[in-house]
Amino acid sequence: MKNKRKTTIKDIANVLNITPSAVSRALHNHPRISDKTKIAVKKVAKDLDYQPNHLASALRSGKSKLVGIIVAKTNSYFFSSVVENIEYELNKKGYNLIITQSNESFDKECRNIDALLQTQVDGIIASLANETVNFDHYNKIKEKGIPLILFDRGENDIGVDYVGIDDYQSSNIVVNHLVEQGCKRIAHIAGYSHTRIYKNRIRGYKDALKKHGLPEEEELLLEGSLSIEDGRAKMTELLKLSILPDAVYAAGDYAALGALQVLQEHNIKVPEQIALVGFSNEPFTSLVSPSISSIYQHNKEIGKLVAKQFLLRVNDKNYKPVLHKTILEPELIIRDSSRKLKS
């Protein structure tokens, strides 16, 4: 049985009769160390299977090489693929991710932030919970002086870097598409308007209607949590209208799915009688029948951009008050649920 003790920088120093500081510098390619000793140090390090102690270096340097992530649910294709790409990019630079879930709860989000700050993360990347309307906790992050990047669910009020798609434009694209398919009475199952992205989708929806000369009717715009159940409830409500809509645009795929279920239960043909469009391009949209048209948010791209932005910030010693808001163009994936015209 070998000795359990891990080899440290000191052990290497002893072997070569130099000091630990020289070893440390050699391993970091410090210019003041000769190439000869650098090579020697690295060889011994390899021979002794030296593994740097992150905790020690973190303590001394103040950098933990850990990045905190906060999302609503990892269990969503959008979030998990964004995170996957962040992880890929940041791993390359030696960072590890601590992933936490807020479960859409403001309280849990606060606790997560505290936990992450305690773990001395070098930065935090987050997408806000639906409940979140108070940003004191995020200011705590800024006060700590570590970078904070928001994506998808962001907020303009706290001056902070952001990466997401153009929600206003998304609605525009959806409405354009539906009008093109001949729809004239387009309903919108919306998210709560206190969340910025949903507010923008609503604005985009309204403006697009106006642009096409369609009247904006109260009864066709319903706010909710966008869960499956919510989608079902909202669709049921819409079916009670004296004049039915000929299209439904849901601000979330799960809500769209709920709506689809209700439509099918009422034997309403999709898209012939009512066309349907969702949002986020969750995988199931292409699996159900009819497949659901949806807005693709460039998940991979968002992940990469967030990572890039984080690296920029974390390497930026002199605090630059320049904000970076990166807005991507959304893309509508047209599927059967909204394809009335056979092209």
29 binds DNA (CB under 7 A): no
Q: Which residues contact 96 (CB under 8 A, 6 or more apart)?
A: 65, 66, 67, 90
* Nearest distance in Å: CB 148, DNA: 21
Q: Is 36 exposed, middle or buried (0-12, 13-18, 19+ CB in 10 A)?
A: exposed
Helix/strand/coil for 19: coil
48 binds a copy of itself (CB under 8 A): no
74 binds a copy of itself (CB under 8 A): yes
274-313 binders of a copy of itself (CB under 8 A): 284, 287-289
Q: 249: closest CA among 202, 288, 285?
A: 202
x/- track of binding to a copy of itself for residues 306-325 (CB under 8 A) = --------------------
d(CA 188, CA 220): 6
4 binds DNA (CB under 7 A): no
314 binds DNA (CB under 7 A): no
Q: What letter would DSSP give residue 238?
A: H
- Containing 279, the helix (H) or strand (E) segment is strand 275-279
| Nearer Cβ to a copy of itself (103/176) | 103
Helix/strand/coil for 294: strand
Q: Which of 64, 169, 280, 294 binds a copy of itself (CB under 8 A)?
A: 64
d(CA 228, CA 259): 8
| Nearer Cβ to a copy of itself (52/182) | 52
d(CA 220, CA 237): 10
Q: Which of 14, 15, 27, 155 binds DNA (CB under 7 A)?
A: 27
318 binds DNA (CB under 7 A): no
33 binds DNA (CB under 7 A): yes
How many Cα atoms within 13 Å fall on the side-chain side of residue 128? 25
Chosen from DNA, a copy of itself, none, partner binding at 101 (C-beta under 5 to 8 Å by type): a copy of itself
d(CA 315, CA 313): 5
* Nearest distance in Å: CB 255, a copy of itself: 13
d(CA 71, CA 268): 36
Instruction: List residues bridging with 164 in a β-sheet.
Output: 327
| Nearer Cβ to DNA (94/321) | 94
Could you tell me which stretch among 32-40, 110-118, 156-164, 290-298 binds DNA (CB under 7 A)? Answer: 32-40
Q: Do 106 and 70 touch, CB atoms closer than 8 A?
A: no
4 binds a copy of itself (CB under 8 A): yes
Chosen from DNA, a copy of itself, none, partner binding at 83 (C-beta under 5 to 8 Å by type): a copy of itself
241-260 binders of a copy of itself (CB under 8 A): 257
Report the alpha-carbon angle 92-325-125, nearest 5. 45
- As a dihedral over the C-alpha atoms of residue 9, residue 13, residue 18, residue 20, rounded to 10 degrees, the angle is 20
38-67 binders of DNA (CB under 7 A): 50-53, 56-57, 59-61
User: Residue 281: left (phi > 0), alpha (psi -120 to 50), or beta?
Assistant: left
* Nearest distance in Å: CB 340, a copy of itself: 22
- Give the interface with a copy of itself as residue ranges (CB under 8 A): 4, 51-56, 58-59, 64-66, 73-77, 80-81, 83-84, 87, 91, 96-101, 103, 111, 115-120, 145, 228, 257, 261, 264, 284, 287-289
Name the residues that contact DNA, by CB under 7 A: 5-6, 8-10, 17-22, 24-25, 27-28, 31-34, 36-37, 50-53, 56-57, 59-61
